[in-house]
Amino acid sequence: DTGVSQDPRHKITKRGQNVTFRCDPISEHNRLYWYRQTLGQGPEFLTYFQNEAQLEKSRLLSDRFSAERPKGSFSTLEIQRTEQGDSAMYLCASSSSGSPRLFFGEGSRLTVL
């Protein structure tokens, strides 16, 4: 399977713990995006990378959230000191530069107890 893959698919954690999600994009795509989706809502943009450069971050992204793409391939999204309001599906997508068409992974569902 050469699509976008995300790990883990599900994560249950206690409030205050740190969690990290990983995304492996389609190999020839140089853009990588993180979105958050809550039940009944459309995906909300969090941040995106072009190669290893993080080009934009949403105002939704508090300082507890950090994303990296160190070698311009896979990316990680870390949430520190999780809160119950962080419970959501975290979606990763990739695209070719210049194309708005996004290829999404299956998502990582976070539940904060």
**Distance linking the first and last C-alpha atoms of the chain:** 33
Nearer to another protein, 17 or 37 (CB): 37
Pick from 16, 56, 60, 78 the residue near another protein by CB under 8 A.
56
Applying CB under 8 A, the site for another protein has a residue count of: 24
Does 55 participate in binding another protein (rule CB under 8 A)? yes
| Other residues' Cβ atoms within 10 Å of the Cβ of residue 44 | 15
Report the C-alpha gap between 47 and 104 in whole angstroms. 14
Q: Cα-Cα-Cα-Cα dihedral of 97, 52, 77, 34, to 10°?
A: -10
Report the C-alpha gap between 28 and 7 in whole angstroms. 20
89 to 108, contacts with another protein by CB under 8 A?
91, 93, 98, 100-107
Does 20 participate in binding another protein (rule CB under 8 A)? no
Report the C-alpha gap between 46 and 60 in whole angstroms. 7
Does 73 participate in binding another protein (rule CB under 8 A)? no
Least CB distance from residue 77 to another protein, whole Å?
Answer: 15
Binding-site ranges for another protein (CB under 8 A): 4, 31, 33, 40-45, 48, 50, 55-56, 91, 93, 98, 100-107
